[in-house]
Amino acid sequence: MTNPAPETIAPSLALIEQLAHEAISTLPEPFREPATLIRLRIEDFPQDEMLEALDLTDAFELTGMYEGTPLTEKSVMDQPTQPDTIWLFRRPILDEWAERGDVSIGDMVTHVVIHELAHHFGWSDEDIAAIDPWWE
């Protein structure tokens, strides 16, 4: 049996994680370094508890999720109970990527990462657009 061509294989969890790290490495200063402190978790699908908390019933509706306290709400007096985390969900990302058909998987992952970082940094829509000109 021959191995399938690499371009016919769905991107793996490891590739999604690599693309997410690459997206973070290209952030403008002063965001790049603080973004590296956020934990990345890549899973095929969100956990049932995550869907319930967001009042979602379809796991394919959630491509990513920020879990933590946004910087705009943190105090130096706060004791962290867990690291800030960005969750990326491979199967919903792949589903949206395939449906769109007009963006690379790297661009799709970058878009999701930027959206989740916006929750952490408290970015406005204008801030997001300056960093991720998705529509271009």
Q: Please give the angle made by the CA atoms of 76, 20 and 87, to the nearest 5 degrees.
A: 60
Cβ–Cβ under 8 Å, residues 127 and 70 = no
Residue range 28-62, pLDDT digits in tens: 989 999 999 999 999 999 999 999 999 999 999 99
> Is the domain 24-68+87-136 a CATH 1.10.287 member?
no
pTM given for the model: 0.86
pLDDT of amino acid 4:
52
Domain locations in the chain as residue ranges: 24-68+87-136
Least confident of 9-18, 28-37, 120-129: 120-129
Using one digit for the tens of pLDDT, what is the confidence trace for 71-89?
Answer: 777 766 666 677 899 999 9
Q: Which of 95, 127, 117 is nearest to 24 (CA)?
A: 117
Quote the CA–CA distance of 36 and 71 in Å, as a whole number.
14
